[in-house]
Structure 1
Amino acid sequence: MDDELRESRPRAPITAADVLAWLEDTAAAVRAGEVEADELIELLGELRQASTACANASDWALLAAREAGASLRQIAPVFGKGYVRAPAARLEKLHREVLSADQFLELMRRRLRGV
């Protein structure tokens, strides 16, 4: 039963290991002259958009974790710090725009639609 619960937990759509493996493959293709400069510029734009999407997903998860009852002390380690100031400051900034994870998700939908 525990294995079933672990497998059904939400997972990030991409991991640092996935990115590193992709980067190593892509760097090898660039070194081999298989990728043109204009392709790299297009790739740069895609990566910047993906980076923004990952940051938004992180903000949503922060809001959702707090709503689910997580304390700032529980959250702080994922910010790479042993104190609660970093997630508290991020939550304060987010709460200037939205009050909940659902509102944040709706804001992201509107931004994607250009509304």
Structure 2
Amino acid sequence: MSESSPVSAPITSAQVTEWLETVAVAVRRGEVSPDELIELLGQLRSASTAFANASDWTLLAAREAGASLRQIAPVFGKGYVRAPAARLEKLHRQVLNSDQFLELLRRKGV
């Protein structure tokens, strides 16, 4: 899967780091007010929630597509299957599959 693939993440960690370095320079120069930083914080927290939801949906979808916990585990770090298994267990208390997860997000207005 390439970065131009429609199933690629809409932003990469490298892009976020590059953006953060640019913003940090502007902050050090005094070009960003505290109010702007607070607004930015809110935007980032909202985006973080959106990415967490996207991650959860992708985890459900990967399992539905046949991926094993051993295949998924490395993206959780250290390669232990306990982390994705625990996350799936928590998600399955709310929904049974990725379609239900999307419907839950729609109902919450996320």
TM-score by length of 2: 0.93
Q: Which residue of 2 aligns with 1:31?
A: 28
C-alpha RMSD of the superposition: 1.4
4+ long deviations beyond 6 Å: none
Q: What do the CA deviations read for 1:30-53 (whole angstroms, capped 9, x no partner)?
A: 111110000000000000000010
* Count of residues in correspondence between the two structures: 109
- Structure number with higher helix proportion: 1
The percent identity for this pair of structures is 75
The aligned runs of 1:16-27 (5 Å cut-off) are: 16-27=13-24
The match for 1:52 is 49
1:76-87 equivalences under 5 Å are 76-87=73-84
Aligned to 1:90: 87
Structure 2: gaps of 5 or more residues: none
Q: Using the alignment, how far apart are the partners of 2:76 and 2:26 within structure 1?
A: 33
Listed as ranges, the gaps of 5+ residues in structure 1 are none
Shift in Å, 1:66 = 0.1
Q: Distance in 2 between matches of 1:112 and 1:17?
A: 29
